[in-house]
Amino acid sequence: MRRYRQKYYDLFSNFYDLIIKLHSKDNRLFLRHYLARKSGIKPSDAVLDLCTGTGELALVLAHYAFKGRVIGLDFSLGMLNKAKEKAQKNGTKNLFFVAGDAAHLPFKEGVFDVVTCSHAMYELSGKTRPLALREIKRCLKSKGLFCMMEHEEPKQPFIRLLYYIRLLSMGKEGRKIIRNELKELKGIFNNVIKEVTSSGKTKVICGQKIG
Ligand SMILES: C[S@@+](CC[C@H](N)C(=O)[O-])C[C@H]1O[C@@H](n2cnc3c(N)ncnc32)[C@H](O)[C@@H]1O
């Protein structure tokens, strides 16, 4: 399954940015800044963007952490290659990319001030998600913050139907997080807060590591 998803994203990397652009127009950039602001990144912070994809969010985060560094991690080399190309083109010097699995992060304990994950937490099903959440906590510094962004359950009937089709494709295990995400996150992090954007379409959930 993991290998299949990797191959899927390697292929998808060729169209990903275009599809996202068509789907969300300028909203995507607004949302990336929204997440960066909610995570309270400071200029010299060390930040991990988990499941970074083509690095769109990581590029924005690197702007906020301009005296620090941002690492974008993903298991798809196709996605990472696109991300690297963009960072190079942009001349971003404090952004690095690492190939790896969210369930086994190749970092020491307590090294990041902030960990972000945009539109990927729902993809981590089965054992991967609980492992990834534990790994995020391990890699965060004390008082560090984890912030994830996902679609809120749509209100419009047709979009809602598409949303439920996506849920079906995630299988029983995958769907658990949709129903229990706050409970699941509260079991791992402290001060868990959910906020929904003014459009009502997107949510950001942040939790802190205490101790
Ligand atoms: C829907 S994309 C989101 C990409 C990006 N965060 C964004 O907001 O555009 C999901 C990403 O998660 C990555 N991914 C899925 N499972 C993963 C895993 N177990 N470890 C690392 N990356 C994973 C995929 O390769 C893909 O790039």
Strands, sheet with 112-118, edge to edge from the N-terminal-most edge strand: 95-99, 69-74, 46-50, 112-118, 140-151, 202-208, 190-196
Per-residue confidence (pLDDT) for residue 174, from 0 to 100 = 66
φ, ψ dihedrals at 194, nearest 5°: -110, 135
Q: Is 191 within 8 Å of 131 (Cβ atoms)?
A: no
Q: How far is the CA of 118 from the centre of ligand 1 (A)?
A: 8
DSSP strand pairing (69-74 vs 202-208): unpaired
DSSP strand pairing (95-99 vs 202-208): unpaired
Per-residue confidence (pLDDT) for residue 123, from 0 to 100 = 83
Give the ligand 1 atom nearest the CA of 117: 6
Read out DSSP for 12-79?
HTTTHHHHHHHHHTTHHHHHHHHHHHHTT--TT-EEEEET-TTSHHHHHHHHHTTTSEEEEEES-HHH
Q: How far is the CA of 158 from the centre of ligand 1 (A)?
A: 25
CA pair distance 58, 51, nearest whole angstrom: 10
pLDDT in tens, 43-98: 999 999 999 999 999 999 999 999 999 999 999 999 999 999 999 999 999 999 99
Q: Is the CB of 75 under 6 A from ligand 1?
A: yes
Q: Is the CB of 53 under 6 A from ligand 1?
A: yes
Q: How far is the CA of 159 from the centre of ligand 1 (A)?
A: 22
Per-residue confidence (pLDDT) for residue 56, from 0 to 100 = 95
Q: Which residues pair with 149 in a beta bridge?
A: 118, 204
pTM, rounded to two decimals:
0.94
Domains of the chain by start residue, with CATH: 2-208 (3.40.50.150)
How many other C-beta atoms lie within 10 A of the C-beta of residue 118? 25
Q: Which residues pair with 47 in a beta bridge?
A: 70, 114
Give the ligand 1 atom nearest the CA of 101: 20
Per-residue confidence (pLDDT) for residue 205, from 0 to 100 = 97
Q: Is the CB of 35 under 6 A from ligand 1?
A: no
Residue to mutate, 1, 3, 4, 9, ligand 1, most ligand atoms under 8 Å from C-beta: 9
Per-residue confidence (pLDDT) for residue 25, from 0 to 100 = 64
Q: How far is the CA of 1 from the centre of ligand 1 (A)?
A: 14
Q: Buried b vs exposed e over 56-94: b needs ≥16 C-beta within 10 Å?
A: bbbbbbbbbbeebbbbbbbbbebbbebbbebbeeeebeb
Q: Is the CB of 123 under 6 A from ligand 1?
A: yes
Residue 6, token pair as written in the block: 């990797």
Q: How far is the CA of 124 from the centre of ligand 1 (A)?
A: 9
CA pair distance 47, 116, nearest whole angstrom: 8
Q: How far is the CA of 25 from the centre of ligand 1 (A)?
A: 20
CA pair distance 146, 161, nearest whole angstrom: 30
Residue to mutate, 7, 8, 51, ligand 1, most ligand atoms under 8 Å from C-beta: 51
**Residue ranges of the chain with per-residue pLDDT less than 70:** 25-26, 173-174
